[in-house]
Amino acid sequence: MEMPTMSGGFAALLGLEFDEVSGDRVTIRWRVRPELHQPYGLLHGGVYCSVVETAASVGGALWLGDRGQVVGVSNQTDFLRAVRDGELTAVGTPVHRGRSQQLWQVEISDAEARLVARGQVRLQNLYPTAA
Residues annotated as catalytic are 53
Report the half-sphere exposure of 125 (CA within 13 A, side-chain side): 20
Give the CA dihedral 27, 46, 36, 114, nearest 10 degrees.
-50
- CA dist., res. 95 & res. 83, Å (int): 27
- CA dist., res. 6 & res. 119, Å (int): 20
In angstroms, the Cα distances linking 52 to 57, 129, 131 are 9, 29, 34
CA 122 to chain centre: 12
